[in-house]
Chains A and B, each alone.
Chain A
Amino acid sequence: MNQNTVLTQQKGAAFWKKNRLSIIAIAVLCVAAAVMLRTRYLAMILDFICIYTIAVTGLDLLFGYTGQVSFGQAGFYAIGAYTSALLSKNLGVPPILSIFIGALLATVFGVIIAFPASKLVKHFLSLLTIAFGLMVYTFVNSCSALTGGPSGITGIPKVSIFGLELGSYQSYFWLVAILMVLVLITKKNIINSRVGRAFIAVRENPHAAAGMGINVAKYKIMAFAISAFAAGLAGALYAHMIRFISPDTFTKDQSNMFMTMLLFGGIATMSGSVIGAAAITVMTELLQQFAAYQTLIYAVLILIVLFLLPNGTVGLFSKLKAAVRKRGQKRKPGKEGTPQ
């Protein structure tokens, strides 16, 4: 028994050593969230961070892992938002259900777009996804009978779970935070599986992937569907949080924002989408007086990332970590070299 305790302790120590950075980061985040939740405005920012993280995580699986670019995520975001808003407001579907119907409808559109998209590469794929985003925007903007046209939809119902109404930004946080964590766990499980390896193989070398028995088109479509589901889910959560939607939210600027968040945080990493979503959301809030220059700011950020931080902020962190380790190693031989 004694030995067992020692073994457990050793295991615990090893776990701590391996994951200490993540554990400390999560603890700091929890404290920060607890503090922020005390203010309505800061709670709103937290909600946005969670919602954007969900959308960006989906985009990361598509772009970061499978290598398929999309500048049309706002289209899926809009489909999720409008579907859930209309179902809950006009047909009385409980919002907690309509949110997922919205995400599923976005997924259906993701699959439809993916069929032609899976045959395209690089700039042709970019153009197709931009066109898709524009099509959705134009539809919600002009189909007044269904979507309310430019004036949008007001009075979207609040979400309630088991009779508990999530009316405030503070209470809404728990819903979006739990869904964000579930989405992140889903992502982690996917990338560490046969499916995730197929995604990465498609990104790294589609010809070799096909030669290894991977149905490249199928996995591209799957990645599109997952990213559409995540964006649709985020859109629906957004609609029930702000309780008002209009086409202005779903322009190509929104798609570009998701891409900026992903690139800034770092593609194909676990923490990149969270860091990117948080950093860009906070930055957008701080620079609200320069809102007219938002796109310009994003453009500059993307250029900075592309030229200076090809692996995003996460890449910068791992560089720092490696540098610290290197210094530590340099010091060690000196110690051993001292006469005893």
Chain B
Amino acid sequence: MSETNNVMLEVQDLTIRFGGLVAVNAVNFQVQKGSIFGLIGPNGAGKTTLFNMISGVYKPTSGKVLFDGQEIQGKPAYKVNSLGIARTYQNINLFKKMTVLENVMVGCHSRTHCGLFASVLRTPAQRKEEKEVVEKCRDILEFMDLGDKADFLASNLSYGEQRRLEISRALASDPKMILLDEPAAGMNGAEKEELQRTIRKIADKGITVLLVEHDMKLVMNVTHQICVISFGKRIGYGTPEEIQQNPDVIEAYLGGGLDV
């Protein structure tokens, strides 16, 4: 197998400008298939902006995003999802008035097909698909330890549970790669430990993980490779050990933020 075949995501010279502000400036990195990749940087570095370009929310000014060998930059978010990239959001974006189960069922959208007429007529194919979707979503909720909360309204879950539901919903689209945007934000120590196990479990399923995170301990523990950006530019790239030795990175984090 050649090296390129092992690359799940390749970001080439990705740049975006908002007016005069260059939010992300010519960033390059490669994410290997099946790996856990960390994207870190100080506040306002452009991590979420980068995420939004990969997931189709923003159109980059220039540069390329190659997903499984295919150019996806500038494609609308719903197409990016159907190609196999699922994501979670930094500021939880659940469907609050739907139940936990329904939230995950929405996640199956791009992997199911029944349209308006099949739904109105409740065709046998539609009923079968609905049944399969419910079963699949219950399995995902079990996997994410939310099985007993299936019929709760999403807004009634605790903060940590809402974060887990975001991941469940993303998993429902059978992604090849999952983008986790600060999944540990607001979590306590025990919840973070749990999250770490969950991320490993997801990677064990063969899903590539791209992680944006502030919690250094979590990132250093769980990732295989890290890209550090600061003020929209890449300042470090390598394994967790290499990143911890990198003087530029240490300086960006005010010389000491990397204590593990």
Interface on A for B, CB 8 Å cutoff? 186, 189-190, 193-198, 200-201, 204-205, 207-216, 222, 226
Contact = CB atoms under 8 A, between A and B. Distances in A.
Nearest to A216: B78
Given A208-B89, A212-B106, 9 more contacts: A193-B119, A195-B116, A204-B95, A204-B96, A205-B95, A210-B78, A212-B169, A222-B116, A226-B116
A212 B89 contact: no
Nearest to B116: A195
Name the residue in B96, B107, B109 with the highest tally of chain A Cβ atoms < 10 Å from its Cβ.
Answer: B109
Name the residue in A194, A200, A209, A212 with the highest tally of chain B Cβ atoms < 10 Å from its Cβ.
Answer: A212
B119 A195 contact: yes
B55 A212 contact: no
Contacts of A189: 119-122
A251 B245 CA distance: 73
B257 interface: no
Nearest to B97: A204
The range of chain B's interface size is 35 or more
Interface string B60-100: 00000000000000001110011000110100011111100
Contacts, number: 101
Given A197-B106, A212-B106, A190 B120 contact: yes
B112 interface: yes
Contacts of A201: 95, 98, 106, 109
B89 A190 contact: no
Nearest to B111: A213
Contacts of A214: 78, 106, 109-110
B87 to A, nearest CB: 6
13 contacts: A193-B114, A194-B105, A194-B114, A200-B98, A204-B98, A205-B93, A210-B56, A211-B89, A212-B78, A213-B111, A214-B106, A216-B78, A222-B116
Contact of A211 (B77, B112, B118, B122): B77
Contacts of A198: 106, 109
B107 A212 contact: yes
B213 interface: no
A211 B52 CA distance: 10
Given A193-B114, A195-B115, A197-B106, A208 B94 contact: yes
B59 to A, nearest CB: 14
Contact of B82 (A204, A213, A226): A213
